[in-house]
Amino acid sequence: MKLPLLEIRNLHARVAAPGGREILKGVDLTINASEVHAIMGKNGSGKSTLAQVLAGREAYEVTQGEVRYKGGDLLELSTEERARDGVFLAFQYPVEIPGVSTSYFLKAAVNAIRKHRGQPEIDAKQFLDLVREKMKLLKMTPDFMNRAINEGFSGGEKKRNEIFQMAVVNPTLALMDETDSGLDVDALKTVAEGAVSLQRPDNAILIVTHYQRILQYIVPDVVHLMFDGRIVMSGGRDLAARVDTEGYDWVDKEVKQLV
Contact residues for other proteins, defined by CB under 8 A: 16, 55-59, 78-80, 82-84, 87-89, 91, 94-101, 103-109, 112-113, 116, 124, 145-148, 165, 169
3 vs 16, beta carbon nearer other proteins:
16
DSSP string covering 92-159 = SSPPP-TT-BHHHHHHHHHHHHHHHTTPPPPPHHHHHHHHHHHHHHTT--GGGGGSBTTTT--HHHHH
78 vs 216, beta carbon nearer other proteins:
78
Q: At closest approach, how far in Å is the CB of 124 from other proteins?
A: 7
State the greatest distance between any 2 C-alpha atoms of the chain, in Å, as a whole number. Answer: 60
Distance CA 80, CA 242 (A): 38
Distance CA 216, CA 51 (A): 21
85 vs 180, beta carbon nearer other proteins:
85
144 vs 227, beta carbon nearer other proteins:
144
Q: At closest approach, how far in Å is the CB of 103 from other proteins?
A: 4
Closest by CA to 208, choosing from 72, 76, 53, is 53
Q: At closest approach, how far in Å is the CB of 97 from other proteins?
A: 6
Q: At closest approach, how far in Å is the CB of 104 from other proteins?
A: 4
Q: At closest approach, how far in Å is the CB of 109 from other proteins?
A: 4
Cβ(29)–Cβ(37) below 8 Å = yes
Q: At closest approach, how far in Å is the CB of 244 from other proteins?
A: 30
27 vs 106, beta carbon nearer other proteins:
106
Residue 226, beta-bridge partner list: 231
71 vs 98, beta carbon nearer other proteins:
98
Distance CA 234, CA 116 (A): 35
Q: In what order do the strands lie in the sheet with 230-235?
A: 87-90, 173-177, 204-209, 36-40, 222-227, 230-235
